[in-house]
């Protein structure tokens, strides 16, 4: 394998969320035994944005069509995004996060939060750098850092053994900062575990970043979807140096606007400037007509976000009941977002073969835990933003499959 082939092989998209190999059989399927379990197929690798589950926010399509009718003025916006929309979004995000945002200098609209993540990492990381990444965390973090030729320095997060906060090992975090790490990358709420960093953890991260001059990229995609009794601390509103943090957020998940490919990054002016330069080469701008949809963001009808959160919480609770009844399975109740990350009991099958068995025999698609940490060889991730009844039935089939393949 050549160096360039090896570089792209590390991106490994076959098992990435939404891209699992779903067709055909190979030699590994011969290991699978048992008949198929009847039931409606459910794809837990991403959320269901259809009318029977969680449709996009009201008015989104109307705004998109209005953008089309505006023609070139909407299609060819500034590379950072339309100035009027940036002003609107900056005001909403300032109120949401608790610190002012300069629409002119500190904010960029991107092609999805995935685009924002790529731009933010590329703006802070170069070949040979050390980059601290939490394990487990969002699947693209490690892959993008490695693709850019940097070194991943893992930081433990004991989400199962901790009841307050995410369980990040702050002592290890300080050690890796001391070792020469220049960038720290994490999601809050955590994807895949759905846990929220405590105010104490966020305060400590901010203090360490300031002390050691580390830039921080905070992925806060699910920070609007908080469950009963939960509080959230925005890193940018802590004591962190404003020039050292970039926050990523967007309307693709909670608001079901993923098809419009909209993301936002805001924070350090010099990093946002770098991100604009790169975006001007990679994609020019976020989709022009789609940018108009941001007029609906944070302006949903009264009670809409509360109702959507309550619906997700009800699904979460019913799925947790099923999983908690499985002997040997370990799981922590998510505090935000729409993910479950159960640790499975010991099975007769390797993780990826079991994931294939779930798909072929139970009609259930999940994402293997190894996408989020090389150590998560006994975990699977489910996005439970699904039709409630279908999701419960699908998790019941997962429980049956666990029993079918449980190590004896």
Q: Which residue did the predictor score with more confidence, 7 or 362? A: 362
Burial class (CB in 10 A: 0-12, 13-18, 19+), 206: buried
Map tokens 């590329």 to a residue: 122
Residue 182 has pLDDT above 70, yes or no: yes
Beta bridge partners of 266: 107, 247
Domain ranges in the chain are 3-55+303-405, 60-296
Q: What is the mean pLDDT of residues 98-112?
A: 97
Is the model's pLDDT at 326 over the cut of 70?
yes
Pick the CATH number of 3-55+303-405 from 3.40.50.720, 3.90.1150.10, 3.30.1490.20, 3.40.250.10: 3.90.1150.10
In sequence order, the β-bridge partners of residue 368 are 380
- Residues 104-122, mean pLDDT to the nearest whole number: 97
Task: Please provide the size of the chain in residues.
Answer: 408
State the pLDDT at residue 2: 83
Q: Do domains 3-55+303-405 and 60-296 have the same CATH topology?
A: no
Between CA 166 and CA 325 the distance in angstroms is 24
User: What pLDDT score was predicted for residue 33?
Assistant: 59
Cα distances from 355 to residues 191, 258, 350, 366, 382, in angstroms, run: 19, 25, 9, 7, 12
d(CA 122, CA 112): 16
pLDDT (tens digit, 9 = 90+) per residue, 266-317? 999 999 999 999 999 999 999 999 999 999 999 999 999 999 999 999 999 9
Spatial separation of the C-alpha atoms in residues 371 and 137, rounded to whole Å: 9
The band of 16, judged by pLDDT with boundaries at 50, 70 and 90, is low
Q: How many H-runs (helices) and E-runs (strands) does the chain carry?
A: 13, 12
Q: Which CATH class is domain 60-296?
A: alpha beta
């Amino acid at each position: 394998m050549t160096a360039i082939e090896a570089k792209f092989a590390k991106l490994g998209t076959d098992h990435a969320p939404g891209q699992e190999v779903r067709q055909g059989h190979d030699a590994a399927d011969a290991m699978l035994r048992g008949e198929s379990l009847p039931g409606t197929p459910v794809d837990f690798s991403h959320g269901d944005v259809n009318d029977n589950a969680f449709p996009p926010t009201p008015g989104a399509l109307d705004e998109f069509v209005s953008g089309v009718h505006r023609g070139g003025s909407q299609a060819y916006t500034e590379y950072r995004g339309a100035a009027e929309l940036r002003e609107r979004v900056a005001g909403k995000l300032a109120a949401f996060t608790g610190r002012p945002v300069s629409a002119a200098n500190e904010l960029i609209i991107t092609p999805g939060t995935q685009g924002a993540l790529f731009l933010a990492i590329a703006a802070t990381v170069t070949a040979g750098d050390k980059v601290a990444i939490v394990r487990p965390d969002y699947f693209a973090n490690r892959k993008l850092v490695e693709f850019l030729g940097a070194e991943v320095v893992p930081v433990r997060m004991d989400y199962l053994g901790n009841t307050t906060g995410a369980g990040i090992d702050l002592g290890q975090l300080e050690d890796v900062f001391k070792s020469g790490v220049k960038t720290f990358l994490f999601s809050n709420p955590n994807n895949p575990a759905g846990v929220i960093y405590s105010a104490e953890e966020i305060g400590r991260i901010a203090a360490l970043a300031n002390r050691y001059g580390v830039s921080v990229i905070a992925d806060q995609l699910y920070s609007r979807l908080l469950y009963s009794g939960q509080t959230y601390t925005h890193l940018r509103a802590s004591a962190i140096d404003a020039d050292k943090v970039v926050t990523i957020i967007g309307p693709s998940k909670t608001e079901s606007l993923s098809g419009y490919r909209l993301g936002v990054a805001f924070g350090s002016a010099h990093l946002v400037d770098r991100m604009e330069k790169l975006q001007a080469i990679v994609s020019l701008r976020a989709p022009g007509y789609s940018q108009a949809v941001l007029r609906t963001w944070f302006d949903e009808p009264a009670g809409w976000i509360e109702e959507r959160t309550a619906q997700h919480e009800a699904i979460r609770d019913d799925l947790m009941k099923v999983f908690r009844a499985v002997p040997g399975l370990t799981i922590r109740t998510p505090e935000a977002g729409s993910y479950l990350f159960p640790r499975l009991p010991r099975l007769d099958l390797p993780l990826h073969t079991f994931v294939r068995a779930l798909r072929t025999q139970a009609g259930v698609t999940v994402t293997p835990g190894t996408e989020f940490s090389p150590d998560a060889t006994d975990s699977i991730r489910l996005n439970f933003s699904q039709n409630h009844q279908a999701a419960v039935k699908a998790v019941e089939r997962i429980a049956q499959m666990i029993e079918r393949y449980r190590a004896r």
